[in-house]
Amino acid sequence: MNIAIIRFIDSDEQLRIGVRDDNGATYALATNSISELLAKSLAEIRKVIEDSLDKKEPVSPSRILAPIDNLTEVWAAGVTYKRSRIAREEESDHADVYSRVYNSERPELFFKSIAWRVSGPTDPIGVRLDSAINTPEPEIALVCNSFQEIVGVSICNDVSSRSIEGENPLYLPQAKIYAGSCALGPGIIPIWMISDIYSLSISVEVERGGTTCWQGTTSTSQMHRSFEDLVRFLFMNMQFPHGVFLSTGTGVVPEMSFNLTADDVVTISIEQIGHLSNVVVPSTTENFPALFVQ
């Protein structure tokens, strides 16, 4: 049996944390938040989940939210796959920056989002109005607790502006952080449920006007670095008392002529983890009102 930790609104409009099984049944989890769970050790988290599966207190989600809350952060790694290195070299006048980081011991790690800005599986994702080339980035996200342990995995869409980053690598925060640029979900799969984290297929499909306009596939076997090493660098000289999501980089990048646009639907599928689908809208305040309330 596979299970996912989910954050949701129930039929009484209450925000809850639960565990959903393969059959779609959801049971209440004895925690008030994802951040409270991620403050615990892996052994404690496993016990909370197993106790809830023993008790089987059924709950009825009416809306699934992004599986992140409170002070838990999202960070991301870049240029961890050869395809990403080649794509950055194509889009940038500073190609050597990317080949140097690809071959260095120290990885590229960047801040991606605070929890309240993250889109969940029923929210839209955004494209910047001042960006000529936008792209989805399908990535496996490691979910780490406060003890630097990888306790689970999820799906992250590291939506990005290729043209803004390509213009100047110092524009990276603007290319990566804006309303609707980070989607996570649908849930967190506990790490002990994953059989081999280094051989999971990752695919992405963009649907436009009812037909597929771009798709791509890779596998975590193509990663140029180890997940443990990315986590080690992230926690070096920094604590995450409420846990952290670390998105591990994309191995699928479209050709330069592709531009993600409003009304496209992006679906990312990762083996053993699930599917994350989001509709694309312009990245305006009006389009992301829900993200301003936790």
Q: Which residues bind ligand DO4 (CB under 6 A)?
A: 76, 78-79, 84, 88, 108, 137, 158, 249-250
123 is a site residue for Mg ion (CB under 5 A): no
Which one of 136-144, 192-200, 216-224, 264-272 is the stretch in contact with Mg ion (CB under 5 A)?
A: 136-144
Token digits for 275? 């599917």
* Residue number, 73 or 137, with CB nearest to ligand DO4: 137
User: Residues in the chain, how many?
Assistant: 294
Phi-psi region of 102 (alpha: psi -120 to 50; beta: other; left: phi over 0): alpha
91 is a site residue for Mg ion (CB under 5 A): no
Work out whether strand 201-208 and strand 265-270 pair parallel, antiparallel, or are unpaired. Answer: antiparallel
CB of 30 to ligand DO4, least distance (A): 36
* Residue number, 108 or 149, with CB nearest to ligand DO4: 108
CB of 158 to ligand DO4, least distance (A): 5
CB of 84 to ligand DO4, least distance (A): 3
CB of 289 to Mg ion, least distance (A): 26
Going by C-alpha positions, the residue among 175, 156, 161, 146 that lies closest to residue 244 is 146
* Residue number, 152 or 249, with CB nearest to ligand DO4: 249
Q: By Cβ distance, which residue is nearest to ligand DO4? A: 78
Residue 251 touches which of Mg ion, ligand DO4, none (Cβ within 5-8 Å per kind): none
* Residue number, 250 or 267, with CB nearest to Mg ion: 250
* Residue number, 158 or 167, with CB nearest to Mg ion: 158
Residue 84 touches which of Mg ion, ligand DO4, none (Cβ within 5-8 Å per kind): ligand DO4
158 is a site residue for Mg ion (CB under 5 A): yes
Q: Please, which residues have CB within 8 angstroms of residue 199's CB and are 6 or more apart in sequence?
A: 219, 220, 221
CB of 103 to ligand DO4, least distance (A): 14
* Residue number, 250 or 283, with CB nearest to ligand DO4: 250
CB of 150 to ligand DO4, least distance (A): 18
* Residue number, 20 or 112, with CB nearest to Mg ion: 112
Give the residues lining the site for Mg ion (CB under 5 A).
137, 158, 250
